[in-house]
Amino acid sequence: MAMNYSAKDEVDGGPPSAPGVTAKNRRPDNTAFKQQRLPAWQPILTAGTVLPTFFIIGLIFIPIGIGIFVTSNNIREIEGNVFMYYGLSNFYQNHRRYVKSRDDSQLNGDSSALHNPSKECEPYRRNEDKPIAPCGAIANSMFNDTLELFLVGNDSDPMPIPLKKKGIAWWTDKNVKFRNPPGEESLEERFQGTTKPVNWLNPVYMLDSDPDNNGFINEDFIVWMRTAALPTFRKLYRLIERKSDLHPTLPAGRYYLNITYNYPVHSFDGRKRMILSTISWMGGKNPFLGIAYITIGSISFLLGVVLLVINHKYRNSSNTADITI
């Protein structure tokens, strides 16, 4: 005979459980919570109850979609500030080992990290016994073509379009995340003892002449360091600021793009692109979202109609429906 002799019961059941105490009522509290009677909304999903949802979704989504679509298509016109992007395709900036290959402390100006970069940067950590600044594969593979845009006017002399180098990176990146090594000396001295990434032509302190756009806070560099999500991506290269309200930023005409070709894309079967675009309130031109909204809205509407029919057809039967077994 198996039995359960619990020590606890022994005590419980013994003399201490005096009858005098037993008058205590063990009736559970009759509260809504304890009795699971909390007031509740109890939706029942049937054609009749759900179809308004579908119609509402349709009615909301289609206008939004149209709005987005229109906005996105309007971007076609080159008005206002024009953004100049370079695009790469088939470049896997999201590769796991690639993504890791950087040292944020170094980029933040931490002097110890500057001279002793993180192991994550391997094998682009040291070169010829000198720490690489900036270290890592991301920095090493930085896009280094130079793009220049010229307007070929009526006169045969092409007029260079002024391209603004600053203001293309996130403000927080430029001011918080990326910092040059501290010090009052010149940038070159501050980077003393480091070497340039293997693939680079120039060291990091020679990226730009503007001291506010040089070293780690060079905005081209910052933009590059923000690794793209997908293998086909674009990165902001330059801003073409609108000069006046009267003239379009880029007037119609023939343009001439001068590319200083440094960046090899054959190695990864990639392609380079240059994109000029304005942006609207919802970013660059991408008709997809608008189309998606319209599509989903329409589908939803259609399903709503189907449900309406079904509801109409089956309402009677479902009203009389009863539990039967």
Partner 1 sequence: MRREPEAEEPRAPGRARRRRRRREGRARTVRSNLLPPPGPEEPAGRGARHLADNRLKTTKYTLLSFLPKNLFEQFHRLANVYFVFIALLNFVPAVNAFQPGLALAPVLFILAVTAFKDLWEDYSRHRSDHEINHLGCLVFSREEKSFVNRYWKEIRVGDFVRLRCNEIIPADILLLSSSDPDGLCHIETANLDGETNLKRRQVVRGFSELVSEFNPLTFTSVIECEKPNNDLTRFRGCIIHENGKKAGLYKENLLLRGCTIRNTEAVVGIVIYAGHETKALLNNNGPRYKRSRLERQMNCDVLWCVLILVGMALFSAVGHGLWVQRYQEKKALFDVPESDGSSLSPITAAVYSFLTMIIVLQVLIPISLYVSIEIVKVCQVYFINQDVELYDEETDSQLQCRALNITEDLGQIQYIFSDKTGTLTENKMVFRRCTVSGVEYSHDANARRLAMYQEADSEEEEVAPRGATLSQRGSIGSHQGVRVVYRSQSVKSHRRTGSRAEAKRASMLSRHTAFSSPMEKDITPDPKLLEKVSECGRSLATARHQEHPLARLTPELADVFDFFIALTICNTVVVTSPDQPRQKVRVRLEVKSPVKTIEDFLRRFTPSRLAAGCGSVSSLASGKAAHKPGAGLLASLSPDGALLRLEERLGRAPPAITDNGYAGAGGWAPDGAPRELRYEAESPDEAALVYAARAYSCALVDRLPDQVAVELPHLGRLTFELLHTLGFDSIRKRMSVVIRHPLTDEINVYTKGADSVLMDLLLPCSADDTRGRHQKKIQSKTQHFLNLYAVEGLRTLCIAKRVLSKEEYARWLQGHLEAEASLDNREDLLFQSAVRLETGLHLLGATGIEDRLQDGVPETIAKLRQAGLQIWVLTGDKQETAVNIAYACKLLDRDEEVLTLNADSQEACAALLDQCLCYVQARRARSAPEKTPGPVTVGFAPLCPPSAPAAPGAGPSLVVDGRSLAYALERSLEDKFLLLAQQCRSVLCCRSTPLQKSMVVKLVRGKLKAMTLAIGDGANDVSMIQVADVGVGISGQEGMQAVMASDFAVPRFRYLERLLVVHGHWCYSRLAHMVLYFFYKNTMFVGLLFWFQFYCGFSASAMIDQWYLIFFNLLFSSLPQLVTGVLDKDVPADVLMAEPQLYRSGQNMEEYRPRTFWVNMADAAFQSLVCFFLPYLAYHDSDADLFTWGTPITAIALFTFLLHLGIETKTWTWLNWMACGFSILLFFIVALIYNASCATCYPPSNPYWTLQALMGDPVFYLTCLIAPVAALLPRLFFRALQGSLFPTQLQLGRQLAKRSPKKLSTAKEIFAQGHPPGDQDSEHLELGSRSTWGSLPRGCAPGASQPPCSPEAGGERSAADATVPCGDDALLERPSCRVPQTPAPRKPVQEGRPGGAETKTPGPSRAAPLPSIFSLPNFGSFSWISSLSLVSGLGSVLQLPRASLQPDKQDSDFLPGAPQPERDLCSLRGQTVEYF
CA-closest candidate to residue 259, choices 272, 242, 245, 278: 272
Size of the site for partner 1 (CB under 8 A): 130
Rule CB under 8 A: choose which of 134, 137, 155, 202 binds partner 1: 137
CB nearer partner 1, residue 159 or residue 282: 282
Rule CB under 8 A: choose which of 42, 112, 244, 316 binds partner 1: 42
Question: Is there binding between residue 234 and partner 1 (CB under 8 A)?
Answer: yes
Rule CB under 8 A: choose which of 2, 201, 246, 252 binds partner 1: 2
- Planar angle of CA 151, 157, 162, nearest 5 degrees: 40
Q: Which two tokens stand for residue 126?
A: 């040291």
Question: Is there binding between residue 176 and partner 1 (CB under 8 A)?
Answer: yes
Q: How far is CA 283 from CA 83, 164, 246, 289, 292, in A?
A: 11, 19, 23, 11, 16
CA-closest candidate to residue 273, choices 91, 151, 42: 91
Three-state secondary structure call for residue 17: coil
CB nearer partner 1, residue 12 or residue 189: 12
Rule CB under 8 A: choose which of 201, 246, 252, 323 binds partner 1: 323
Q: How far is the CB of 14 from partner 1 (least distance, A)?
A: 6
DSSP β-ladder status, 146-152 and 130-131:
unpaired
Distance (Å, rounded) from C-alpha 174 to C-alpha 178? Answer: 6
Question: Is there binding between residue 127 and partner 1 (CB under 8 A)?
Answer: no
Distance (Å, rounded) from C-alpha 251 to C-alpha 152? Answer: 11
Stretch touching partner 1 by CB under 8 A, among 157-165, 243-251, 253-261, 311-319:
311-319
Distance (Å, rounded) from C-alpha 203 to C-alpha 215? Answer: 8
Contact at 8 Å (CB) between 50 and 43? Answer: no
CB nearer partner 1, residue 154 or residue 317: 317
Question: Is there binding between residue 214 and partner 1 (CB under 8 A)?
Answer: no
Site for partner 1 in 71-110 (CB under 8 A): 85, 87, 91-105, 107-108, 110
Q: How far is the CB of 240 from partner 1 (least distance, A)?
A: 16
Question: Is there binding between residue 298 and partner 1 (CB under 8 A)?
Answer: no
Stretch touching partner 1 by CB under 8 A, among 74-82, 184-192, 209-217, 296-304:
296-304
Q: What is the number of residues in the chain?
A: 325
